[in-house]
Structure 1
Amino acid sequence: MDYKLLGRTGLRVSELCFGTMSFGGDADEKESAAMYRACREAGINFFDCADVYSRGKAETILGKLIKTERDELVITSKCFNPMADDVNARGGNRRHIPRAVEASLKRLGTDRLDILFMHRWDKTVPLEETLRALEQLVSDGKVLYLGASNWAAWQIAKGLGIAAKNRWPRLDIIQPMYSLVKRQAETEIFPLAQEEDLGVIAYSPIGGGLLSGKYGVKARPDAGRLMTNQEYIRRYGEEWVFETAEKFSQLAGDKGHHPVSLAVAWAAKHPALTCPIIGARN
């Protein structure tokens, strides 16, 4: 396994990041532990999580797994999404963010997050309020570096400007979607990242399973989330996407590669990308 600098943070992370969204959901504790061990044996030191993954169960499981080697790892989490029935237990406001991080730290069994991502952009709150709350967490030592997931380029740029003006810690890492069939990040996000020396870890490098070799013009498994999950249907439901997936699978086979390996390698080769996030259910 090779290791790369994550933007200008000084952190060295494995060239693959493992996403734990399946922990506590599709993958029970035993399956999660097996995947974690496989990652560690391969040299992966970078694990991505979020409070909303399996409503906190993913963090709890990951926390148990990292307990004996926490200092060797780079651990992320995210906040924004609802985590309770309380209407205020969500968002990018200074009431929710500190509480969400405290809860994440407790579930993970650690005293700090290496990276905290804001999971979404909160249009209901001034960005200054969000960034001030994040600055306090860094000052308190509960978060080391800050990031943004699913933010548009102009939102990231605005955040960088506010942080610079106020001499606050900036958003050093971004997490956009990126794959062969979702290349929007190439237009503005990647150029911004290269200009500002941001670390970039991209999720869904195999298009939510679309580029796994299971899907094509006629090959559409009934049980797959691409067929049943409305968010994935909106994201990948157009006919050209399945045509591309079929051609890609054929190309991978012709070249002697598994489609998943080729899709991840293709994404990883973009010069703006630090590493893609891979994941699995088993």
Structure 2
Amino acid sequence: MKYRTIGKTGIQVSSLCFGTMSFGGNADEETSKAMFKRCREAGINFFDTANVYSQGRSEQILGECIADCRDEIVLTTKVFYPTGKDINAGGLSRRHIMLEFEKSLRRLKTDRIDFYFVHCFDENTPMEETLRALDDLQAQGKILYPAVSNWAAWQITKALGISAREQLARFELIQPMYNLVKRQAEVEILPLAVSEQIGVISYSPLGAGLLTGKYGVNKRPEQGRLVEEKRYTDRYTDEINFVVADRFNAYAAEHGLHPATLAVAWVMSNPAITAPIIGARNLEQLEYSLAAIDVDMSPEWRNEISSLSITPAPATDRAETLLPSWT
């Protein structure tokens, strides 16, 4: 396992992060703990969860897993999405952040969170309110660093400006969606991270299963997240994505690699990415993603794979402008 530094924090993390969204849901407790053990054997020290995964059960199981190795683990969790029917049981208000943070600590059986993510943007709460709450948690030693997921680059940049002006703890880790068919992060989020020396752990490297070899123009299984969950159906079922999946599957076969392994390796090869977040429902799925550790992808090889999908237009929308070499 290779290790990389998160931005300017000095914290060393494995080049793969394991996401525990399946814990207590698609993976029962026994399977979840077996996957955690396998990740540790592979050298992974970086684990991501959220307070809403499996209604908090993911945090509980992960808390049990890390009980005897907490100081060796870099741990993240998140806050934003509703955790109940009460009108205030969601968002990024100081009230919701403080209440949910304490619940996460109890479920995870820990005294601090290494990186605490705001899970999505809250248009009803001023950024200053949210950032001040996160700064207070850091000052209390309860979180080491604030982090941000699913915000646009302009929102992150605005927050960085507020943090600098008000001398508040700034975001040190960004979590965007990023895979071969969802490359919007290349336009502004990844350049922002490089410019400001912020770590990046990207999610969905397999495109909810689209890039695992199961899907294509004429390959549509009856089961799977792309079929069973509306958010993934909405996100990935444009016809062009299945065309890309076919191209990618053929390319992986030509190079003797499982598509899932190659998909994770492609994300990992982007210099702006600290660690892709991998996930799995079982040990068999996990092994395909772990195998990406052994794929040494050159920039030329990465560019070949990138050409299988559509490169997003640059931020200025001038197609003739060359994108920077890190893409």
Distance in 1 between the 2:90 and 2:139 partners? 22
Match in the other structure for 2:299 = none
Distance in 1 between the 2:202 and 2:164 partners? 25
Mean Cα displacement is larger for which, 30-39 or 218-227? 218-227
Match in the other structure for 2:71 = 71
Distance in 2 between the 1:260 and 1:82 partners? 32
Match in the other structure for 1:275 = 275
Cα deviation digits, residues 236-276 of structure 1 (max 9, x gap)? 11111011101101110110111011000001111111110
Match in the other structure for 1:142 = 142
Distance in 2 between the 1:172 and 1:213 partners? 35
Give the AA of the match of 1:231: R
Match in the other structure for 2:4 = 4
| Structure 1 residues 226-241: aligned runs within 5 Å | 226-241=226-241
Give the AA of the match of 1:248: F
Shift of 1:99: 0.7
Shift of 1:187: 0.4
Distance in 2 between the 1:85 and 1:68 partners? 35
Shift of 1:174: 0.2
Distance in 1 between the 2:2 and 2:184 partners? 27
Shift of 1:223: 1.2
Match in the other structure for 1:246 = 246
- Which secondary structure does the structure 2 equivalent of 1:179 belong to? coil
Give the AA of the match of 2:28: D
- Which secondary structure does the structure 2 equivalent of 1:98 belong to? helix
Distance in 2 between the 1:60 and 1:130 partners? 25
Distance in 1 between the 2:87 and 2:54 partners? 19
Distance in 1 between the 2:162 and 2:17 partners? 29
| Structure 1 residues 116-195: aligned runs within 5 Å | 116-195=116-195
Shift of 1:278: 0.2
Distance in 2 between the 1:121 and 1:137 partners? 19
Distance in 2 between the 1:23 and 1:218 partners? 32
Shift of 1:89: 1.3
- Which secondary structure does the structure 1 equivalent of 2:91 belong to? coil
Distance in 1 between the 2:78 and 2:163 partners? 19
Shift of 1:222: 0.9
Match in the other structure for 2:295 = none
Match in the other structure for 1:213 = 213
Match in the other structure for 2:29 = 29
Mean Cα displacement is larger for which, 103-112 or 224-233? 224-233
Match in the other structure for 2:202 = 202
Match in the other structure for 1:81 = 81
Distance in 2 between the 1:166 and 1:134 partners? 13
Distance in 2 between the 1:196 and 1:93 partners? 26
| Structure 1 residues 98-109: aligned runs within 5 Å | 98-109=98-109
Match in the other structure for 1:49 = 49
Which consecutive residues of structure 1, in runs of 5 or more, have no partner in the other structure? none
Shift of 1:202: 0.3
- Which secondary structure does the structure 1 equivalent of 2:120 belong to? coil
Distance in 1 between the 2:78 and 2:187 partners? 25
Distance in 2 between the 1:220 and 1:232 partners? 14
TM-score by length of 2: 0.86
Distance in 2 between the 1:85 and 1:241 partners? 36
Match in the other structure for 2:300 = none
Distance in 2 between the 1:82 and 1:73 partners? 27
Which consecutive residues of structure 2, in runs of 5 or more, have no partner in the other structure? 283-327
Give the AA of the match of 2:214: K
Match in the other structure for 1:222 = 222
Moved over 4 A (4+): none
Distance in 1 between the 2:104 and 2:230 partners? 28
- Which secondary structure does the structure 1 equivalent of 2:68 belong to? helix
Paired residues in the alignment total: 282
Shift of 1:120: 0.4
Match in the other structure for 2:58 = 58
Shift of 1:229: 1.5
Shift of 1:108: 0.1
Cα deviation digits, residues 106-135 of structure 1 (max 9, x gap)? 000000000000000000011000000111
Cα deviation digits, residues 67-99 of structure 1 (max 9, x gap)? 000000000000001112211011000110011
Match in the other structure for 2:16 = 16
Shift of 1:200: 0.3
Distance in 1 between the 2:72 and 2:111 partners? 14
Shift of 1:228: 2.4
